[in-house]
Amino acid sequence: MQRKQFLIGIAGGSGSGKTTFAQKIMKSINSADTCLLHMDSYYLPVQPRELYASSGKANYDHPNAFDWSLLRHHLSELKLGHSIKCPIYDFVTCSRTEEFETVGPCKVILFEGIFALYDQEIRDLLDIKCFLHVDSDIRFTRRLHRDVKERGRSLESVIAQYYDTVRPMYQKYLDPQRQYADFTVGEETDVASVILSARIKELIGTPLPSQETEAV
């Protein structure tokens, strides 16, 4: 009998801690049969001109900034137990590179991104749907530190982008995804990651700590 793959979606605004939350879950599960897929890898190679803001900058927080056809295909393949060639996006040059990263096959796929719960077809693939709801000032501060430190951005450009596209897109497109989530997580993710990890272990048949102790 073919084993079942489990796909967990983690959505939330930029700076809400999605990647950190996913990494906590992976560490707790502690299995080589678990992989993490970042939605940021699926930004379009060239952003549509019609999405550009009045400032002349691309809008990376709009749903149409992403390569949905490729993303749907890759998630479907992972859910079937196949491997994929995930694109690699360069956030310094804001472009997709020519290189790829092999992801899978794996039994548990954690999929994190600002629009992880946005698309109906993808939601139908998800076994568990989670939304990280964090206050806007915290998200902004985290994004500011990340983009300046890791992506070579200036302080002024990050602030301008936040008010130009990030904040309005969150209110219009991102926050409404909460209605599709099985549960919502706040700023403190430690307890939530432990609970979700325990649920995933149940799904994949990994013994919980108490079960392991009893077995010994």
> pTM for this structure?
0.86
In whole angstroms, how large is the CA radius of gyration of the chain? 18
pLDDT band at 215 (very low <50, low <70, confident <90, very high): very low
Beta pairing partners, 12 = 132
How many secondary structure helices (H) and strands (E) does the chain include? 8, 7
The two tokens of residue 11 are: 């959505």
Transcribe 111-143 into DSSP letters: EE-TTTTT-HHHHHH-SEEEEE---HHHHHHHH
The two tokens of residue 36 are: 């993490």
Domain spans, the chain: 6-204
The CATH architecture annotation of domain 6-204 reads 3-Layer(aba) Sandwich (3.40)
pLDDT band at 184 (very low <50, low <70, confident <90, very high): very high
The pLDDT value given to residue 212: 40
